[in-house]
Amino acid sequence: MLAKIENLVKDYYLGKTTVHALRELSFGIEKGEFLSIVGPSGSGKTTLLNLIGCLDLPTKGDVFINGKNVSHLSDNEATNLRLKTIGFIFQSFNLIPVLNVYENIEFPLLLLGIKAGQRKEAVVSMAQKVGLHEYLIHKPDELSGGQRQRVAIARALVGNPLLVLADEPTANLDGETGHIIIDLMLEMNRELGTTFVFSTHDEMVIKHAQRKIFLHDGKIDRIEE
Amino acid sequence: MFLLILAFKNILRHKRRTILNITALAINVAGIVFFTAFYRGRIVDNYDRTINYLTSHIQIHNPLYETEKRRLPLDLTIKDSKKIKNDLKNHEWIRGVSERVEFAIIVNNGLDQMPCLGIGIQPEEERNIGILPEVITGGDYLVPGEEGILIGSKMAELLNLKVGDIVFLYVTTSLNQPNLFETEVRGIFHYGFPMLDKYVIHCSYDFIREYLNMPEGATKMMIMLKDRRLIPEMMNYLSEYNLKEYSGELQINRWEYFAQPLIEDVKGDTFFMGIFFFILVLVGLFGIINSMSTSVFERTQEIGTIRAVGTRRDQTVRLFLFETLAISLIGVMIGWIIGFAISLYLARAGIPLGQAFSETEMMAVPMGEKLYAVLGIWEYLGTLLLGLCAGLIGGISPALRASRLKIVDALRK
Ligand SMILES: Nc1ncnc2c1ncn2[C@@H]1O[C@H](COP(=O)(O)OP(=O)(O)O)[C@@H](O)[C@H]1O
Ligand SMILES: [Mg+2]
């Protein structure tokens, strides 16, 4: 098992009111699986992925990644863990606008301190895999939404993470492009063996997923295999 | 390293804002650079003129002279002045040594009269001391032992005197007896410094000592060195000489001793310049803080992204600091170029001060018609330091704010 979520609780405090975003969630993520988290807007998908991705700390409960409890990490420990083991794909692509495609993909490798030669090899081969090798020197604003998300996928995968977290990666894309992007992620999942967890509120895009966890109001509604 | 590159790319992002910041900083730096060069020019000019017109580098007096100097005592002399002059005149650091006698004198043209300061000088020795021989605008310079006086241009105007006119002089001798005699105006000098041009006459040392009834000794000795920087060493040499030959009985002073008000003035001005510069830098600083804060705000989501992807807090701080530092460095360097160009021009062409200004009676320090900037290195090092500080201080708080953003909140933006 790659990750284990145990009795996970996340509350947000807004002045005097408390928002219970996640209420005692428990499930596991298998190595190499392609898991989708499905739920309407506000059901807690982003909150859940943020906690698995060590971007935030839970109110209660634990997240284990590779057997290690990551619910109480310091900022630097969490950053290091994200850099080495987790890749992120966002709804609004979140590329660095001043960097071109090549440089955007290269960014995590620079943080990892990988040598120039190896870096170039990894970036070019990853760009090829996502079909962007002809766009290496383009800036993000010269690309379509689908192309931007491909760059994001390449950036998430280039450092060989164990786990890729994609929070509604298709929400800003049209239906067809959305499918293509999910297909690409599936392909990467099969080819590289990387574990994928992606969230969506659109049941149409999840027909490919092996396993679906349905969230409702911060709780697991049901799990479909 | 790559953070540096990313920082540079970020600089080019908002070209207008960056250009504005760089321009503001460059103007400040250029201002500081050429003001400093100009100000240094002023100080150098003030000091040089004070030395050349008034004080020379080092003066020797009778130790009792100081307390009585208001009455220009003729009895408190340096008895051995002739020997001292001969001892010193061939020293390798010395350009000239001369003996002087200063005395109170009343100049009368037959109708009106003016009290003034008489200075008996050794005309040949004096060529190596001050610039009197060069500022004779009418008539002739003095000849040792010969009759006649040199008067200033202002006095000539006030007493309506021309070269060749006869004047009546009234002095009190060293024995406290009045002495009235007549002589001619040999020449007229014009320093462009009212204190000298109006109230001072020069005459030959040997000539006047007869009328003053002074058998021996000068009231003061003037020493001019080949270079002002030799003063400290020369002072050491002289105090040893003083101890050995005169058991420390001579009073030997550097020129600054006689120019206290000027020195104080310069100190005060330097202080205000410092404050002025500080305000300039502060203005630049606020510009940087302001635009960096805006940048952090605009890039919130991007900050969330790079943090999520694995950028540490300290790296985020550095990213923003590099950006402000680069902006301030570029600003400083452009400022240097502009400031250097202006300073160079001011050093070559000078700034005209205007007749009215340069000859006001109020003037405490002799000034010429033009001031020339003097180039130096400190303003460049100083502005570099100030620029880097402005970059650091201006950048640190926005950078810290960026690094402390909660990643999940930043990403939600
Ligand atoms: N930073 C926050 N402060 C307060 N409430 C929040 C915050 N983030 C999320 N929430 C609330 O938590 C619940 C779950 O949100 P979220 O995880 O974003 O759901 P989803 O991604 O499924 O739309 C929502 O009710 C949302 O309003
Ligand atoms: Mg969401």
3-state secondary structure B42-89: HHHHHHHHHHHHHHCCEEEECCCHHHHHHHCCCCCCECCHHHHHHHHC
A126 pLDDT tier (thresholds 50, 70, 90): very high
Quote the CA–CA distance of A122 and B18 in Å, as a whole number. 35
Q: Is the pLDDT of residue B358 over 70?
A: no
Domain boundaries, given as residue ranges, for chain B: 2-52+262-412, 63-249
Confidence (pLDDT) at B363: 62
Residue A114 confidence (pLDDT)? 93
Given a contact cutoff of 8 angstroms between Cβ atoms, the answer to whether A12 and A19 are in contact is: yes
In chain B, what percentage of residues exceed pLDDT 70?
97
- Res B356 pLDDT > 80: no
Token code pair at residue A103: 């440089």
B120 vs B208: CA distance, rounded Å: 6
Query: From ligand 1's centre to the CA of A43, what distance in Å?
Result: 8
3-state secondary structure of B254: strand
With bands split at pLDDT 50, 70 and 90, how would you rate the model's confidence at B360?
A: low
When pLDDT is averaged across residues A39-52 and rounded to a whole number, the result is 95
Pocket of ligand 1 (CB under 6 A): A 12, 14, 19, 21, 39, 41-47; B 409
pLDDT at B362 over 70: no
What is the arithmetic mean of pLDDT over A71-76?
93
pLDDT of B413 higher than 90:
no
Calculate ∠ Cα B230-B231-B237, nearest 5°: 90
Q: How far is residue A134's CA from residue A205's CA, in Å, rounded to a whole number?
A: 28
CA distance B200 to B297: 71
What is the DSSP code (8-state) at residue A205? G
Q: Do B313 and A56 touch (CB under 8 A)?
A: no
- Tell me the average pLDDT of chain B: 90
Global pTM value: 0.79
Helix, strand, coil fractions of chain B, as percent rounded to 5: 60, 20, 25
Looking at the complex, report in whole angstroms how far the Cα of residue B9 sits from the nearest Cα belonging to chain A: 6
* Confidence category of residue B393, pLDDT binned at 50, 70, 90: confident
Band of the pLDDT at B189, cuts 50, 70, 90? very high
Task: Give the distance from residue A148's alpha carbon to the nearest chain B alpha carbon, in angstroms.
Answer: 14
CA of A47 to the centre of ligand 1 (A): 6
Q: Spell out the alpha helix ranges (H) of B299-377.
A: 300-309, 313-349, 355-358
Residue B118 has pLDDT above 80, yes or no: yes
Beta strands in B173-267 (DSSP E): 178-189, 200-204, 220-225, 251-254
Residue with CA at minimum distance from ligand 1 atom 2: A12
Q: Judge contact between B57 and B231, C-beta under 8 A.
A: yes
Architecture of domain A32-58+73-224: 3-Layer(aba) Sandwich (3.40)
Mean pLDDT of A142-151: 95
Measured from the CA of A43, which atom of ligand 1 is nearest? 22
- Region B220-246 average pLDDT: 94
Can you tell me the ipTM of this complex? 0.95
Residue B259 confidence (pLDDT)? 86
The mean predicted confidence, pLDDT, of chain A is: 93
Region at A151 (left for phi over 0; alpha for psi -120 to 50; beta for the rest): alpha
- Asked if residue B40 lies in contact with residue B208, where contact means CB atoms within 8 angstroms, the answer is no
Kindly determine whether residue B13 and residue A99, on different chains, have CB atoms separated by under 8 Å. Answer: no
pLDDT band at B351 (very low <50, low <70, confident <90, very high): confident
The Cα A88–Cα A189 span in angstroms is 14
CA A133 to chain centre: 22
Question: Domain segments of chain A: what residues?
Answer: 32-58+73-224
Q: Do A108 and B309 touch (CB under 8 A)?
A: yes
* Mean pLDDT calculated for residue range A177-184: 90
Phi/psi for B263 (5° steps) reads -60, -45
**Phi and psi torsions of B72, nearest 5°:** 45, 60
Query: What confidence tens digit (pLDDT) does each residue in B296-343 have?
Result: 888 899 999 999 999 999 999 999 999 889 888 999 999 999 999 999
Which two three-digit tokens encode residue B114? 């003016």
Instruction: Check B308 against A53: CB less than 8 A apart.
Output: yes
